[in-house]
């Protein structure tokens, strides 16, 4: 794994030993950022099931001002911190060992709000619709923000989840990426039909 573009382009990223994580491949990561970026003029990102931290680090490298990384696994937290040091991005990041819902509660108490959220849990966790609802209810998401959900291609998330609307669905083998936009005003449904694409590999 490596940082694909931006200020830390080419820096190698450590993986987490064992089989508890499923890192986003460079191919999928590059595809994600071609959809949502590719570069950013500041803002804050949340990498909630961070694993190695690769997605949040890529966002920082491409111009995000700040990122918060959360993972419940001690090894993952250690790897995230090592990867931030290796990429020179530690001062722009906060890293926490916590489960997702407790972390969201703590961030809500701090009145945090994000322009970009990454949700890449283990594939057995198919409750990202619930997490998106919490982000909305706790006012943790800014108007026009993007949420990226990486999930098993065999599982489909709804087009609408509260005020989140799916604007892109892409498949890469057994991996799928659903991109949602958060709008405080109602927007038309049915965006997926024109923008869905598929890449088998």
Q: Mind listing the pLDDT tens digit for each residue in 124-141? A: 999 999 999 999 999 999
Q: In percent, how much of the chain has pLDDT > 90?
A: 84
Q: What is the pTM of this model?
A: 0.91
Q: Please check whether residue 2 is in contact with residue 33, taking contact to mean a CB–CB distance below 8 angstroms.
A: no
* 145 token code pair: 């923000």
Nearest to 159 by CA among 140, 187, 131, 138: 187
CATH architecture for residues 27-195: 3-Layer(aba) Sandwich (3.40)
**Cβ proximity of 12 and 1 under 8 Å:** yes
Q: Please provide the average confidence, as pLDDT, over all residues in the chain.
A: 91
Kindly report which listed range (23-27, 78-82, 150-154) carries the lowest average pLDDT score: 23-27
The domains of the chain are located at 27-195
Q: pLDDT confidence of 190, banded at 50, 70, 90?
A: very low
Place of tokens 């609802």: 133
pLDDT confidence band for 20 (50 / 70 / 90): low
CA distance 102 to 106: 6
Distance CA 198, CA 176 (A): 9
Say yes or no to pLDDT of 198 above 60.
Answer: no
Tens digit of each residue's pLDDT (9 = 90 or more) over 22-56: 778 889 999 999 999 999 999 999 999 999 999 99
Has residue 84 got a pLDDT over 50? yes
Lowest mean pLDDT among 5-14, 15-24, 31-40, 137-146: 15-24
Task: Report the alpha-carbon angle 143-162-101, nearest 5.
Answer: 85
pLDDT at 184 over 90: no
């Amino acid at each position: 794994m490596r940082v694909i573009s931006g200020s830390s382009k080419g820096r190698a990223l450590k993986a987490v030993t064992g089989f508890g994580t499923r890192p986003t491949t460079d191919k999928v990561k590059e595809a994600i950022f071609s959809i949502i970026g590719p570069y950013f003029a500041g803002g804050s990102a949340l990498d909630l099931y961070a694993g190695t931290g690769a997605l949040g680090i890529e966002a920082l490298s491409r111009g995000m001002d700040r990122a918060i990384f959360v993972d419940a696994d001690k090894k993952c937290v250690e790897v995230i911190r090592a990867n931030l040091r290796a990429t020179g991005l530690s001062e722009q990041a906060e890293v926490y060992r916590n489960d997702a819902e407790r972390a969201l509660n703590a961030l809500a108490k701090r009145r945090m709000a994000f322009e970009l959220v990454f949700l890449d849990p283990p594939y057995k966790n198919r409750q990202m619709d619930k997490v998106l609802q919490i982000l909305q209810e706790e006012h943790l998401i800014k108007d026009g923000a993007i949420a990226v959900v990486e999930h098993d291609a065999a599982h489909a998330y709804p087009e609408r989840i509260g005020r989140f609307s799916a604007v892109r669905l892409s498949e890469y083998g057994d991996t799928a990426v659903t991109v949602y936009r958060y709008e405080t005003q109602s927007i038309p449904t049915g965006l997926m039909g024109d923008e869905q694409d598929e890449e088998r590999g």
